[in-house]
Amino acid sequence: MPNLSERIKNMQASPIRKLAPLAEKAKKEGKKVYHLNIGQPDIETPQIFYDTIKSFNNPVLAYTGSQGIPELINSYIRYYKEWNIDFEEDEIIVTNGGSEAILFALMAVCDYGDNIVIPEPFYTNYNGFSQIAGVNVSPFLTKAEDGFHLPKKEEIVKAINDKTKAILISNPGNPTGVVYTKDEIRLIADIAKEYDLYIIADEVYREFVYDNLEYTSFMHMKDILDRVILVDSISKRYSACGARIGLIASKNKELMKNVLKLAQSRLCSPTIEQIGAAKLIETPKEYLEKVKEEYQRRRDVVYEALSKIEGVICKKPTGAFYVIAKLPIKDAEDFVKWLLTDYSVDNETIMLAPADGFYATEGLGKDEVRISYCINIDALKKAMNIFEKGLIEYKKQKGC
């Protein structure tokens, strides 16, 4: 039998999903498991999405154009206007979720062996897309102690070399929950200019910024717009992950003309989901407001619980629905497994994501976990109680 490719063998299994069998086993044994490991919102998808697809009555479920349906593209244009971001029709291409948008962005600016600079820890699938695109990840470190804000410029530019084509950055950050300040966005923009790089801006959590903080998009940096490739998605914003509808957008029309060739090769994004997504723009503003308030309350529950626990290092996150906590233990993955296999409170336990899978640098993140707060407040309180008691018990048992 011929070998499989090196690139597929070298891909890591999802750190978020790889421990799923242990959770399944716990459930089979009758334990309730609170999932703090996945970013699947529990908020209801706006009804207008379902109403729209229910009234779809074309006799033939045909391909759409590769760029996406005009109604959806125009709804995106209207959406961005509210954020003071101007796009024209030929500057947006609909993608199969934010996932495909990231892959297209990497393909468009990198050849095999090129690299991209990313602050670590970062969204683990950036590794997968890089592997698929044959691109290397050159990370620079951000730390729990700093709330995962950017380090000094000299630390960032150390990661850049002559093979670097872009800086990939998510803001608000998954898995850190950081929201970069305007000065930080400006710093990255200046570095991109100085080193002649693209910026791949993953802004899928734009609507999830708490404490009335100001949000700065890379699309607000007017002097570098031809360098910015925006990656976005309706998945989190409208709690519609299963629609797999995202977009790639850029004011750099030459780039978008080329990305369209990638889009043509896979024909189109799903038709019915595009039609439903195009109507989401009509969702009342209160929907997004209420969702944000709900997540902010959850963030408070998680952060308060964490800040009470001795030895846990964690600054208050201000965006997305994740937090990374540094724990006073050596092996966070062992702790995560132990919670599923050996521990429970009233026959309930929790599942976390070990954070080392979010780092590119071997050995980092071993004492950290990512907590996702996509469950309701009551469940979250119980889950964080299990977290606290479990950590104390684990330390006692392991003698640390």
Segment lying near its own copies (by CB under 8 A), choices 23-31, 180-188, 191-199, 311-319? 191-199
Cis omega (within 30 of 0) for bond into 284? no
Residues in the chain: 400
Decide if residue 243 touches its own copies (CB under 8 A).
yes
Q: Exposed e or buried b for every residue in 73-93, given b needs 16+ CB within 10 A? A: bebbbebbeeeebebeeebbb
Among 221, 240, 247, 351, binds its own copies (CB under 8 A): 240
Decide if residue 48 touches its own copies (CB under 8 A).
no
Residue with Cβ nearer its own copies (165 or 206): 165
Residue with Cβ nearer its own copies (248 or 312): 248
Least Cβ distance, residue 161 to its own copies (angstroms): 14
Decide if residue 283 touches its own copies (CB under 8 A).
no
Q: E strands of the chain, at which residues?
A: 32-35, 92-96, 115-120, 136-141, 164-170, 198-202, 228-233, 245-249, 322-326, 348-351, 353-354, 368-372
Segment lying near its own copies (by CB under 8 A), choices 140-148, 182-190, 261-269, 307-315? 261-269
Decide if residue 359 touches its own copies (CB under 8 A).
no
Residue 257 DSSP symbol: H
Decide if residue 298 touches its own copies (CB under 8 A).
no
Closest among 374, 30, 18 to 383, alpha carbons compared = 374
Decide if residue 227 touches its own copies (CB under 8 A).
yes
Of residues 1-30, which lie at the interface with its own copies (CB under 8 A)?
1-2, 4-9, 11-14, 17
Among 115, 142, 176, 239, binds its own copies (CB under 8 A): 239
Of residues 119-178, which lie at the interface with its own copies (CB under 8 A)?
125, 128-129, 131-132, 134, 165
Q: E strands of 68-149, at which residues?
A: 92-96, 115-120, 136-141
Among 35, 36, 49, 210, binds its own copies (CB under 8 A): 49
Distance CA 96, CA 316 (A): 32
Q: Are 138 and 158 in contact (CB under 8 A)?
A: no
Among 242, 284, 311, 328, binds its own copies (CB under 8 A): 242
Distance CA 332, CA 336 (A): 6
The identity of residue 68, as a single letter, is G
Least Cβ distance, residue 240 to its own copies (angstroms): 5
Q: How far apart are the first and last CA of the chain?
A: 48
User: CA torsion sign, 323 to 329 to 331 to 333?
Assistant: negative
Of residues 311-340, which lie at the interface with its own copies (CB under 8 A)?
none
Among 37, 41, 73, 201, binds its own copies (CB under 8 A): 41
Binding mask 85-104 for its own copies (x = CB under 8 A): -----------xx-xx--x-
